[in-house]
Copies of this chain bind each other. A is one copy, B any other.
Amino acid sequence: MIPAISGSPLYKIACPESIAFFGASNNFSAMGSSILNAILTDGYEGRIFPVHPKEKKVLNLEAYSRVRDLPEVPDLAYIVLPTKIVAETLRACGEKGIRRAVIVTAGFNEVGGEGKVRQEEIKAIAREYDIRFTGPNCIGVVNSHIKLNATFLPSQGRPGFIGMASQSGSFITQMFDYLGTRFGQGFSTGFSLGNEANIDIADCIRYLGACPDTRAIALYIESIRRGRAFIEAAREVSAIKPIVAYYVGGSETGKKACLSHTGSLAGPDRLYDGVFKQSGIIRAQSVEEMFDFCYALGSCPLPEGNRAVIQTHSGGPGAAAADACGRSGIELPALSPATLKKLGSYVPHTGSVNNPVDLTYTKNPLDFFHAIPKILLEDEGADSMLVYFLASAAMIHRALSGMGVPKAEIDAQVNKIVDEQCGSVAALMTSCNKPLLGFSFLTRENPFIAGLQDKGVPVLPSPERAARALGALVEYRRLKEKLARSVRTK
């Protein structure tokens, strides 16, 4: 059983009601100012107390010259100061009674030499005052559900269901745009870990496991510091919620890069493979794949098995998906006689009722969104479904125009049709309780793609990526069952 998030050392870091902010000024280009600016822009509703030795106001907020002058004890200290004064500031926070901190400042373990001494110093201060902190050398924290974005780039304010713990802050703050433009998603909660001098990735796994807004957990890993704690936390959490990890220390060049990035010592690929397997973690081979997998895992019910049916109206994308399915261990069974009978007149003579089902063309293009996928997804031999989408709102526009619909009404009618059709696909996934993944080379600029995604149907950007994401669903189903068995036999 995973305890509630309120029991986690990360609770007041991810959900603070008040923040003491160190390092923001009225100089906009300073890193601290950028972060405070991002916090204000995204609309965080808690109390913020900038601490600045000289300024009376910082970004229009009342500023305090010393932490001890603050009118209350804030939940969290956010430290973006020059390296040399971090330790004394942390001590002052401890004196004030602050018990949580995010230390963004760099120049510690990752630079070696004196940096290592400095890191030991802040660790000792934290022990002395019972402070738990993330960083140093991190980018911060984001919690879209309380509009807290303390990561210096604008978050676009999108909530989402992907929880992330990352040993690179970039994969939080620089992915807002990525997740938004590709999937219409944001992070539920994201932690940038930096050097993990105090709080580490195992703590984050437990927090995200308990977080009610998080449906899938992404981990960017350069090195695991506490192996046993990591495996224990991951096994516990992955029994109830999927975890996807992307590890980059596996090649010789990757290992060296990790060492100079966060001062971490990466291990051989196979060792990490073993750790992930033991922990019930799904391994991704790239940043894109990590988010593809989390997106699909957080969107779909799990499949009963590895048999899928593919619906397409273009042979090439269908064949590419079929080939990728084979490489991901997904089988494509023949359709049942009952299904073939029901399909009947929907498939023109140029089409194929093999699997992939290639419609080439349908008299009523809207059948592609409901009647046909319903028949296919209800086939007893299908545990899941992949659908290729190439719907064009422009074509509906043209058709309505051709039917004589007045110009003024066309846009509204197109929107209504898009909305209904996308809703119809989404409803299928619920009624059949089987995963349905879309794929398309189109982006969210196409209203059908945005519509499907926003209604909860994951649409991936290529046949191969959709097939691999479906493979991750099948894998997670197996991992989960295995973990359940191992708990029962204990």
Contact = CB atoms under 8 A, between A and B. Distances in A.
A28 B314 CA distance: 20
A246 B319 CA distance: 12
A466 to B, nearest CB: 11
B354 A462 contact: no
Nearest to A313: B170
Contacts of A339: none
A248 interface: yes
Interface residues of A, number: 77
A322 B390 contact: no
A167 interface: yes
Contact of A326 (B174, B253, B327, B465): B253
Interface in A206-261: 220, 222, 246, 248-254, 256-258, 260-261
A310 B254 CA distance: 12
Most buried by B among A249, A326, A352, A355: A326
Nearest to A445: B181
A475 interface: no
A316 interface: yes
A166 B317 CA distance: 12
B257 A356 contact: yes
A310 B287 CA distance: 17
A332 B253 contact: yes
B260 A354 contact: yes
A125 interface: no
A285 B177 CA distance: 27
A319 B285 contact: no
Interface string A438-457: 00011101000000000000
Most buried by B among A107, A167, A320: A320
A490 to B, nearest CB: 36
Nearest to A325: B253
Interface of A: 28-29, 31, 106-107, 111, 137, 166-171, 174-175, 177-178, 181, 220, 222, 246, 248-254, 256-258, 260-262, 285-288, 310, 314-320, 322-327, 330-332, 349-350, 352, 354-356, 358, 360-361, 390, 398-399, 402, 441-443, 445, 461-465
